[in-house]
Every structure is written in C-alpha cells, then in structure tokens.
Amino acid sequence: MVDPTSDLGEDIDEADAPTCANCGDPIVQSPTHRVVTWVEDGRVQHRHFCSDDCRDAFAE
Ligand SMILES: [Zn+2]
C-alpha cells in the first residue's frame, strides 16, 4: 500500500532503492551507503555501493 503522505525519502520502497554495484543488494537507509560519481562523455555517472568493502571489491 502506498502512503501518499510519506514522500520525504524516509520510506523508500526497495523497488526504488539503488542497488549495490558489487553485490546487487538494495540499499535502503544504509549508513554505509557509498556513491561514486565520475564524468563520462560529459555526463555524470553514479555507482552505488552498500559499504566501503563492496566499493573496494568492485572491479571495473
Ligand atoms: Zn554490496
């Protein structure tokens, strides 16, 4: 059930949550959430990780 009054990003549905680029887990209100950004072809790219460990383990 969707509650239209909770639209402040505090109740993120798993379907809307970013997923870890390394392990694929949905990242919901994770205090260890890491976002890596870079510019490619003039556009800003994002990659989400659930933790520093996953960020370090990810091999491009
Ligand atoms: Zn992960």
pLDDT tens, N- to C-terminus, the chain (60 residues):
555 554 555 565 656 789 999 999 999 888 999 999 999 999 999 999 999 999 999 976
Find the 7 Cα to ligand 1 centroid distance in Å: 26
Find the 51 Cα to ligand 1 centroid distance in Å: 6
Find the 55 Cα to ligand 1 centroid distance in Å: 7
Find the 5 Cα to ligand 1 centroid distance in Å: 30
Find the 13 Cα to ligand 1 centroid distance in Å: 18
Residue ranges of domains in the chain: 16-60
DSSP letter assigned to residue 3: -
